[in-house]
A and B are shown apart, each in its own frame.
Chain A
Amino acid sequence: DAGVTQSPTHLIKTRGQHVTLRCSPISGHKSVSWYQQVLGQGPQFIFQYYEKEERGRGNFPDRFSARQFPNYSSELNVNALLLGDSALYLCASSLDGTANEKLFFGSGTQLSVL
């Protein structure tokens, strides 16, 4: 069975541009979460979606947005990129997104903002 897949694996953008990152969860998983991981730090929660509805949002500016599609895949959008947005963006899926579930992470998208 395929795990969580993310695309692209690497991306280089310049300041002010917009980026869209994509995630396909494990088959049967209805919840998708997004995390940002800056080098040397742990992942930081951005969003969680379940059944196309936003269930939770972390402390990120409105430049960050996301959505979940009927097939449970998800997109993360970041507008007006800043140098500080350079990071590994991780997508994680789980069955229902409830509190006691483990997360299955993809390998991430490495975003570099120049």
Chain B
Amino acid sequence: SQKIEQNSEALNIQEGKTATLTCNYTNYSPAYLQWYRQDPGRGPVFLLLIRENEKEKRKERLKVTFDTTLKQSLFHITASQPADSATYLCALLVSGGYNKLIFGAGTRLAVHP
């Protein structure tokens, strides 16, 4: 069966450290993978998109890697801050001509001062 798995347990880290979140998938061949941030009571906010032929993408303190052989994406936040505390969702887009995203359940990140 098709699955997207993110760490179900919350990730607790100290301010200033690097947070690494994992997204694993099975039985999908995604054309794109996206990462979103979601705060309580709000809709997801787009962070980064990476294509299947890209290995790595960076934006400010954020870095995403995409390994289609391992079927895994890693999402890194360097120099983390308490304001980075939120739930982070990975989403796959399987080619089909339109924009249907398949989301994982998300990982909650808590950055402590």
- Please say whether chains A and B are actual partners in one complex: yes
Interface residues of A (CB under 8 A from B): 4, 31, 33, 35, 40-45, 48, 50, 55-56, 58, 90, 92, 94, 97-108
A42-B105, A104-B46 given as contacts; is B99 within 8 A of A99 (CB)?
yes
In the complex, what's the smallest C-beta–C-beta distance from B48 to chain A, in angstroms?
A: 9
In the complex, what's the smallest C-beta–C-beta distance from B11 to chain A, in angstroms?
A: 16
Which of B31, B99, B100, B103 is A42 in contact with, Cβ under 8 Å?
B103
Interface residue? B95 (CB, 8 A): yes
Please report the C-alpha to C-alpha distance between residue A102 and residue B104 in the assembled complex, in whole angstroms.
16
Please report the C-alpha to C-alpha distance between residue A56 and residue B98 in the assembled complex, in whole angstroms.
7
Q: Which residue of chain A is the closest to B45 with respect to CB atoms?
A: A105
Interface residue? B25 (CB, 8 A): no
A42-B91, A90-B43 given as contacts; is B99 within 8 A of A33 (CB)?
yes
Give residues of chain B (85-109) contacting chain A, Cβ–Cβ below 8 Å: 89, 91, 93, 95-106
